[in-house]
Structure 1
Amino acid sequence: MTACRYLFLSKTEVRAVVIGKHHSGKTSVINTILETRTEAEGDEDVKREGIIDGRRVSLVETPGWWKTFNLSDLSNLSKQQLVRMISLISPGPHVVLIVIQADSAFIDTDGRFLEDYVELLGPNVWTHTLVIFTRGDLMKPEDIEQNIQKDGSALKRLIEKCENKYQVFNNSNHHDRTQVKELFKKIEGIVQKNNGKHFDIDLKKVKEVNEQWEEIQTRAYSRKSRVQEKRSKVQEKACVHRLEEIRVVLLGWVLCGKSSAGNIILNRDEFAIGGKTGECTRRFGDVDGRKITVLDTPGWWKYFTSELNPDFIRSAILGSVSEFEKPPHAILLVIPADVAFLEEQKRITEQNISILGDDVWRHTIVLFTWGDRFKNISIEQHIESEGEALQWLIEKCRNRYHLFDNTDKNNRDQVTELLQKIDEMAAENSLFHLNT
């Protein structure tokens, strides 16, 4: 097919992949282009289509990420989802739109991560990329240009990787079609510069990922079935009683979501969030007619062995049990659901938890936080895709795990089910006693 023919197609059809971190404005960009309205990122319709100015436009929104330092921090599931989603616009996108907030800092770690993430699609992707700056109405055009041209800046390097192709969007003004027309014109230029070719999807890689995904789904279903079967047997044979009083300890690394989880359990903002917990903090509440005590603890550093953590971290972990007049019913080991859990995290987590003695694992439930970041993915699929380290941890805790959606604080069912799992665990075990 000639370049002219491909250019004609780019005037009648546009296929694009939209990439960006959480709250970067990906959904708003799609709304602006398609003149539609979807309220939140991560909606079920990851592929959206429309007819704009005589063009058939297909846009695929990929999963976002929170601030991370390198690609190894990202869960396997996130990487697999990117590859699977790009296959939704076969034979390939004309353009990969990288969405960045114009008024947000973009530092070296952001730039390195984004480059590595985009190259998951293939090393030749950059000739098909274009940066869209959202929230352009909050900054003067000359200020945006100044940020781009700043020598040695991460943003300048990214724009240069994209061959100086970018567009500023004012997403608050959906009626301004000029910015969309300018975008389509630049996409036509990208198609023409690539000799009329769209970005070729690595079909072999897509096939491998899809086959892996089928295996993951099978194993996830099997794990969920085993857990449900075990819970049924416990409920039937272990004389599970509804505990009128429950005492729990929250453990985990820094910024894993412990304090947020504590607030969800108690159904009010008792623990400060957004920073590091500096000391053990105990709070009380009445939940579903039960007296609940939650102890939040300082987190350990995710990449530091227990010996390298400050002494007060070890003291806090040891003291977390003695804080109670009676021993706690459960240790809730808090882990974000959207990050990698590698062999390094397995080793560090085991070191810190084992401070409480070998018997602690019988009384531990893994509490995954930020479950809202994968709307249509089960926690079992995450466990099976992440690999041996996380699976080891789940088995170590006797397949006891639970998932919280931190954004849906009105969802009390997730708390009720967690308390039921603690009831079941207590029926299997005697109360935990410190053994160090």
Structure 2
Amino acid sequence: MTSVSELNVVLLGNSLSLKNSVGNLLLMKPVLNTDTEPQTIQTHEEKMNDKLLTVVMTPDLQRINRAEFRSYIRTLSGPRVFLLVLQPEDFTENHRDKLQLLLESCSEKAFDQSLVLISTAQSVPYVWRYDPRILNMIIECKSRYLCINAKEDDQKKRELKRKEMFTRISQMLKENCEPSQEENAGLAVSERRKSCLNLVLCGRAGAEKSSVLESITGQSSERLSLDPCEKHQMCGRWVSVLELPPLSGSDKPVEEVMEQCLHCLSLCGPQGVQAFILVLPLGSLTDEDKSELKILQDMFSSSVRPFTVVLFTVDSDQTVPALIDKDLLELCGGGHLILNTRGQQQVSELLDFVETLSAKNRPHSFTTETLIHGQRTMISAQLREIQDLKKNLTVSGSEASADCLRIALMGKTGCGKSSSGNTILGRKTFETKSGSLSVTVSCAKAEAEVDGRRVVVLDTPGLIDSTLSKDEVIKEMAKCVSFLAPGPHVFLLVLQIGRFTSEEKEAIKVIKQSFGNDSQKYTMILFTRGDDLEGECSIEEYIQQSNSSLKKLLSDCGNRYHVFNNRDKTNVSQVRELIKKINLMVQENGGGCFTNDMFQNAEAAIMREMERIIEMRERRIRLKQETSLCSLL
């Protein structure tokens, strides 16, 4: 007799019609079509591919008796999952509290076995994302959620959604069930995969990652590059070691860096990563090392911290010095150890260390779900920060007198923003440094009296850089208006003569996307390194000889521009001329600044853009996740 594996799917929620739709979708036939809530728990079974699927239909949330529900759930044999089917418009605090009580009564791990399903058929787009009741449920379920259109008529789309639902259920069981339960659910994995430790080596270029890779696997890095997913049996364990390319010290766009990180995570499959190992040579920590760790945590979110281990490499029997950077160890919650790349015994100690770390962490690995949760938490925090900044914008502006001139400097890293700020203020206030690395890492404000008038200058990080994520740009843009409350008189877009990058071509677009179309009327181009033109041509001739992209940018800014020679500290006339041009622009704009009202008009666009970023990242994570799952089947 063929044994039949079982899977129990329990439907809980605040909408009868939505629960019916989900149940019918799972069973692949319209067996649930009643318009009346069931008074008792009902079950519907369907045999699928030699597996028995049981869909458990529950009454209205407020009618469910907690003790009876708990007793019934405990009678179910085989793996079980809870699908929390939520209609956002009608979901109340009472619904949320009752769901929590029901799940907690079943098991302390019930939320680990739960997936939130959200109806999008009637919801205004994104409304549920700002509802703390919905968000709390999603967070309780480790950020597992799926949007579903209960009114979808397209059969092909319904089948795809059903497949996606079972893929998510399958992964959830793999992450939370015991190995025997995984097999009962038809989700058998090989012994090799069950016991495999997935390690990801991180670090800057030249950080001895290849030596560590070869020490652990016993094979050359050239051989390993042919099959980065290959499992190796080391010290009685199956081990997979991936090498993440250097994240710092490059001009790669942030989205490309994110793609590398996602690819690396997807190669580890549903089991995820047990440890991210930051490889550092023994000695002083460099700025590049710190940058590597920061980018790693920016890409994977702060959720990666408990899984991050510092590995100091040596080629002899040395010990780690007593004084280790405390900030480094605080950022790497997984601890630190030393590895003699020539000693095989220490490889065993490293693997023991990772196994202990995995047992201590909950969940025991960093998965795509962990990443989604971290990304959503991080961006939600940024949204709250923008909301707080918005509140600051309600300041009446009494601190800034009517005669105060407020200037916001924007542009790509290394274009001369900080130097221009110092030139305007007549003293060195903002730190400057030649090169491609940004000295200004967040908005910095300073003021001075210029020709008897108070002038406030805001220096911003490289907001036009492709190395900044879009949400970081939006957050710093919002700070810009807040710090110059009640608003800046001018956005000075700083460009360096002789250099006009692809990012700078899109500069005005970035400003308009963040602040709305009105911001264009308050934008002026400031060229730096005007001394490069001396004896060659005038600024007007330079513009005339420039390409069409620069001319279009100038046109978008109303052909308002000025040129600075920041090396000539005694030339005060260039500052006076700039202020004169700004005053003329202010008069053309009705005598006012870029105001709170204008920013509020742009706020909806900012929120939509933040949501688009979330959606885009989650789609890419899901795609990588599904690709890795398919490769394992």
TM-score of the superposed pair, with normalisation by structure 1: 0.43
Larger Rg: 2
TM-score of the superposed pair, with normalisation by structure 2: 0.31
